[in-house]
Amino acid sequence: MGSGNDRTGGAMDTGEDKRTDGAHGDEGRGDDAGRGARRDQAVRAAVEQGLLGPMAPVVGLLDVTGIRDSAAALRAAFDAVVAPGTPVLHAFAVKATPLVAVLRLLDGEGIGAEVASPGELALARAAGVPPRRTVLDSPAKTPAELREALALGIAVNADNPQELDRIDGLVRSAPTRSPLGIRVNPQIGGGSIGATSTATATSKFGVALRDEGAREWVVRAFLDRPWLTRLHAHTGSQGIPLTLLARGAAETYALAEEINERAGRRQIDTLDIGGGLPVNFASDATSPTHARYARVLREAVPGLFDGRYGLVTEFGRSLLAKHGTVVARVEYAKSAGGRRVAVTHAGVQVATRTVYAPAAWPLRIAAYDAKGRPKAGPEVVQDVAGPACFSGDLLAEGCALPPLDQGDYAAALDTGAYYFAHHYGYNSLARPGVYGFAPDGTGGVAFATVRAPQTIEEIVAESGGSHASALTTLRAPEQP
Ligand SMILES: *Cc1c(COP(=O)(O)O)cnc(C)c1O
């Protein structure tokens, strides 16, 4: 089944999804063809409505229709493979798009939140995600974080033996409704991108199951603690083939079966299989789909779906990436060494991974004219550069596009996760505004502010503006 080369999204994948994914295409949901048209309409409307222009030269846009469709498709994908009545919680990995309005939109679609820091938990709470639909996983939880989580009753997965010790103390000192589990690393290996491979032999995450004595330690940890009821593994993100993700789930399932067997009861009642479904950055097609992954999982680990275990998933990128676009004005168009260069306002501050690791994180760029209309015409090879002061600040190098001229717009596609919501403060560049868009009911486009653009005053304040004399008034050492 899985070709192992999911990033390129081969024709076979798309064909299969069209045939069998009921929530895809045939009901007018998750309609990949509609995606580009909605985006084009939104860019045009953003220019017409003044959200984007000389005074606001870079914005992030979020396709609300697309996000809702993906949420519905995710739910349908698992509903189609689980035994009726199986509890399934899809918890969106907040780190993918840490924006409160996005979390509330997903909550309304029945998707909870997976949080991994005090900030992410606060965002989920600000969005109104209920504790019973919130899961806390992170490798460095402090005692205060753990105490708060257990007091709220949110699910917690212990990363390591020292963390389990802390949880032991908390459980002894106060009753909690929190479902509690242990994160394991099945050590099944990495994918094509080292930085997003979490199941390597030496990964920092979870209990490394194949290390000497580790598996037995996990089993004993459960047998000694009747309140531990969950097992968690997240075996990687972008660059991990589906077959490897499924192996991670299979190993976790096998361990749960072993623990329940030794306990003589169904002590583990829920398996958290993490997220990590890769995203196709090469075209507008959703590939692989959540539906396909659910089918791969059911084939590889049928016992996971027979109703004996509740399920938790933690998808991030696959829910949001394709619904975001960063659009930047071309401030100058120039040429250097025979190469055209469009100098835009989107670079390392909104596309950090692409700028620093372009081979692993290539982005598609779309060209729009000064009125926000798709640019036509013969393509020329050009660089699309950002505003930051280092030469590697390129959104795309040597890409073939209709020539970008001064006042045009360049859009970096599929940037709804891990891009413009992950601002990097290089050159004190301001965080751009983020706007959601949806049809306005009369054939136009309506926008809503998801995050206001950062002001220059805020940049000064954030950079210690109120401590301007801190260093000049710090007492000097006594002179002899
Ligand atoms: C990052 C992360 C996720 C989400 O990964 P995606 O690739 O965005 O789906 C889920 N679970 C954990 C524990 C993570 O660290």
* Rounded Cα distance, 69 and 72, in Å: 5
Alpha-carbon Rg for the chain, nearest whole angstrom, is: 24
Q: Whose CA is nearest to atom 8 of ligand 1?
A: 316
Asked if residue 472 belongs to a domain, the reply is no
Together in a domain, 312 and 198: yes
Average pLDDT over residues 255-271: 98
Q: Are 332 and 343 in contact (CB under 8 A)?
A: yes
* Rounded Cα distance, 76 and 276, in Å: 18
Together in a domain, 56 and 69: no
Average pLDDT over residues 247-275: 97
Q: Report which ligand 1 atom has the smallest distance to the Cα of 278.
A: 7
Together in a domain, 288 and 141: yes
> Rounded to the nearest whole angstrom, what is the distance from the C-alpha of residue 77 to the centroid of ligand 1?
18
If you ran DSSP here, which 8-state letter would residue 359 be given? T
Asked if residue 474 belongs to a domain, the reply is no
Average pLDDT over residues 166-175: 96
Does residue 98 surpass a pLDDT of 80? yes
Average pLDDT over residues 273-292: 96
The per-residue pLDDT for 240 is 86
Model confidence at 194, in pLDDT bands (50, 70, 90)?
Answer: confident
Together in a domain, 284 and 172: yes
Average pLDDT over residues 148-175: 97
| Range in 30-39, 334-343, 403-412 with the lowest mean pLDDT | 30-39
Q: Percentage of the chain surpassing pLDDT 70? A: 92
Q: Which residues line ligand 1 (CB under 6 A)?
A: 93, 95-96, 114, 137, 234, 237-238, 274-277, 314-318
β strands within 120-240, DSSP E: 134-136, 155-158, 180-185, 207-208, 228-232
Last residue of a domain, one of 276, 292, 319: 319
User: Candidates 7, 95, 419: which one to mutate for ligand 1, based on the most atoms within 8 Å of Cβ?
Assistant: 95
Model confidence at 479, in pLDDT bands (50, 70, 90)?
Answer: low
- Convert the pLDDT of each residue in 201-243 to its tens digit: 888 899 999 999 999 999 999 999 999 999 999 988 888 899 9
Asked if residue 480 belongs to a domain, the reply is no
Tell if the pTM clears 0.75, that is, is over it: yes
Asked if residue 220 belongs to a domain, the reply is yes
> Rounded to the nearest whole angstrom, what is the distance from the C-alpha of residue 273 to the centroid of ligand 1?
10
Number of domains composing the chain: 2
Does residue 385 surpass a pLDDT of 50? yes
Q: Are 420 and 330 in contact (CB under 8 A)?
A: no
75-87 b/e (C-beta count within 10 Å ≥ 16 → b):
bbbbebbbeeebe
- Convert the pLDDT of each residue in 360-371 to its tens digit: 999 999 999 999
> Rounded to the nearest whole angstrom, what is the distance from the C-alpha of residue 314 to the centroid of ligand 1?
6
Together in a domain, 133 and 102: yes
Together in a domain, 92 and 201: yes
Strand pairing report for 88-93 and 207-208: unpaired
Together in a domain, 329 and 371: yes
Together in a domain, 31 and 136: no
> Rounded to the nearest whole angstrom, what is the distance from the C-alpha of residue 418 to the centroid of ligand 1?
11
Which residues on neighbouring strands pair with residue 401, listed in sequence order? 380
- In a 10 Å sphere around its CB, with 0-12 CB exposed, 13-18 middle and 19+ buried, how is residue 117 labelled? middle
239 or 29, which is more confident: 239
The per-residue pLDDT for 238 is 87
Q: Are 46 and 435 in contact (CB under 8 A)?
A: yes
> Rounded to the nearest whole angstrom, what is the distance from the C-alpha of residue 237 to the centroid of ligand 1?
6
Kindly name the residue from 389, 400, 461, 468 that is annotated as catalytic.
Answer: 389
Last residue of a domain, one of 304, 319, 334: 319
User: Candidates 94, 198, 234, 252: which one to mutate for ligand 1, based on the most atoms within 8 Å of Cβ?
Assistant: 234
Last residue of a domain, one of 319, 343, 372: 319
> Rounded to the nearest whole angstrom, what is the distance from the C-alpha of residue 234 to the centroid of ligand 1?
7
**Which range of residues forms the domain containing residue 404?**
7-18+27-62+321-462
Q: How much is the mean pLDDT over the chain? A: 92
Model confidence at 188, in pLDDT bands (50, 70, 90)?
Answer: confident
Quick count: other Cβ atoms within 10 Å of Cβ 214? Answer: 17
> Between the CA atoms of 246, 307, 171 and 223, what dihedral angle is there, to the nearest 10 degrees?
-80
The per-residue pLDDT for 18 is 37
> Rounded to the nearest whole angstrom, what is the distance from the C-alpha of residue 283 to the centroid of ligand 1?
22
* Rounded Cα distance, 1 and 476, in Å: 69
Look up the CATH number of the domain holding residue 48.
2.40.37.10
The per-residue pLDDT for 20 is 37
The per-residue pLDDT for 27 is 35
Together in a domain, 52 and 181: no
Model confidence at 5, in pLDDT bands (50, 70, 90)?
Answer: very low
Asked if residue 303 belongs to a domain, the reply is yes
**Has 389 been annotated as catalytic?**
yes
* Rounded Cα distance, 212 and 215, in Å: 8
The per-residue pLDDT for 334 is 97
- Convert the pLDDT of each residue in 422-476 to its tens digit: 999 999 999 999 999 999 999 999 999 999 999 999 999 999 999 999 999 998 6
Q: Report which ligand 1 atom has the smallest distance to the Cα of 314.
A: 10
Residue 37 makes CB contacts below 8 A (sequence gap 6+) with none
User: Candidates 70, 90, 106, 114: which one to mutate for ligand 1, based on the most atoms within 8 Å of Cβ?
Assistant: 114
> Rounded to the nearest whole angstrom, what is the distance from the C-alpha of residue 44 to the centroid of ligand 1?
33
2 or 211, which is more confident: 211
Asked if residue 447 belongs to a domain, the reply is yes
Phi/psi of residue 471, each to 5°? -90, -35
* Rounded Cα distance, 80 and 295, in Å: 9
The per-residue pLDDT for 24 is 39
Together in a domain, 300 and 358: no
Q: Report which ligand 1 atom has the smallest distance to the Cα of 236.
A: 7
> Rounded to the nearest whole angstrom, what is the distance from the C-alpha of residue 313 to the centroid of ligand 1?
9
Residue 275 has which token pair? 């997220």
Asked if residue 471 belongs to a domain, the reply is no
> Rounded to the nearest whole angstrom, what is the distance from the C-alpha of residue 306 to the centroid of ligand 1?
25
Look up the CATH number of the domain holding residue 127.
3.20.20.10
Together in a domain, 267 and 366: no
Does residue 132 surpass a pLDDT of 50? yes
CA distances 87 to 102, 271, 298, 346, Å, are 24, 11, 16, 42
Model confidence at 177, in pLDDT bands (50, 70, 90)?
Answer: very high
* Rounded Cα distance, 270 and 252, in Å: 11
Asked if residue 479 belongs to a domain, the reply is no
Q: Report which ligand 1 atom has the smallest distance to the Cα of 238.
A: 7
Together in a domain, 299 and 353: no
